[in-house]
Amino acid sequence: MTHPRFTVVCPAYNRSAAIEATIESVIGQTTGDFELLVGSDGSTDDTDDVVAGFARGDRRVKLLRLKHTGDPGLVRSRLCRDLGTAYVAYIDHDDMWREDHLAVLGAVLDGGAPLAASGAEYRQQDGASAILRGRSLLWHPELAVVDPYAEPSRVAHRKGVLDSAGGWRRACRGLEDWDLWWRMGAQGIALQPVDEPSAVVSISGSTRRNSLGYKMVAPLANTASEALAKAVVGEWAGERLTDVFAEDFRRWAAEIDGDPQARLPLPCHKYGPDAGLPAAGGVTDTFTAASSWPGVVLTLAVFPGGREGWLVGLAAPIVSRSHGRSMETVLERRFPVAMARLRSALLLRLQDINT
């Protein structure tokens, strides 16, 4: 039996006719050697009928009706069973691809990369959009810990790397993709970005990423008073917190830029077997950091716990306890001056208010 080159995995739930644009963007790829698996997560509207209509007209489209889980990661896990294709790509039910998306990522995978991600156009519901490309696409295993990095619709990989990292699994805070990407990085699987914004990612206020709960990552100070802890945290606006970390962040960025584990975005001006290989002088952008955080927003927060009853510390939308420990390790190792300054400032301020 001959298998297609790509399996495209699309979890779907109650998307109705709106999923037509997503499926059409896949069917319209210049690289036609693929199968599209749409996993309906127990949809209760006419999503299944819409997908079935495409399947009747195009043998590459297949509908799998699944029991509702409410977790796209579990749907992707089911769709990725018994893969026969060389490569796997993902698209969410509200995203779209430029017609050369699979050609762009396929060229990078053909060039030897185990895992690849495109740039993107982020499109708001009101029509406003922003392009992600260039130096902002730099990847490093430590960045994979502190930054979700890429939505599934931007990513493709060789089928073997999925099992190596433990596959898709339920992520209790709605970032099952981040959970997989950072586990891949921890296994030494490098992600190669390509400087082509070939994915169109839909952004809306109702997406799960806009309703994430933050968890404590790095405890910094203790107090017996919740009100006192919240008062101190309230004094730390986002810009003030960023300023404390600015020097360490610039140093970290410079170190990452010269680290052999880092992956600069590749240009992709053609789609041949060598398009995924960096030509001499082909990458002109280098990673230069401003006084800002990576994509994930770390914040100061108050949580119950500690010797005195309340903890003040850095919080983030971590995906698991082991991920939280990894993030704390990166913060302590790469931001030693900032962490020391922040601890000292918080302790002194708590003492001042108490006296």
**pLDDT averaged over the chain?**
87
Question: Rounded to an integer, what distance in angstroms lies between the CA atom of residue 291 and that of residue 298?
Answer: 14
Q: What is the DSSP letter of 160?
A: H
Nearest to 118 by CA among 182, 201, 41: 201
Supply the angle between the helices 176-186 and 72-79 in degrees, to the nearest 10: 60
Model confidence at 272: pLDDT above 60 = no
Phi, psi angles (nearest 5°) of residue 142: -75, -35
Q: How many CB atoms within 10 Å of residue 169?
A: 17
**Strands 61-66 and 34-41, how do they pair?**
parallel
CA dihedral (103, 35, 91, 72) positive or negative: negative
The domains of the chain are located at: 6-208, 212-354
Is residue 213 a contact partner of residue 317, using CB atoms and an 8 Å limit?
Answer: yes
pLDDT tens digits, 16-29: 999 999 999 999 99
**What is residue 170's predicted lDDT score, i.e. its pLDDT?**
85
**What is residue 212's predicted lDDT score, i.e. its pLDDT?**
66
Nearest to 218 by CA among 345, 350, 311: 311
Name 309's bridge partners: 305
pLDDT tens digits, 204-228: 765 555 556 788 999 999 999 999 8
- Fold entry, domain 6-208: Spore Coat Polysaccharide Biosynthesis Protein SpsA; Chain A (3.90.550)
- Say which residues have a Cβ less than 8 Å from residue 173's Cβ, sequence separation at least 6: 212, 213, 215, 317, 318, 319
Report which of residues 4 and 296 the model is more confident about: 4
Q: What is the DSSP letter of 88?
A: E
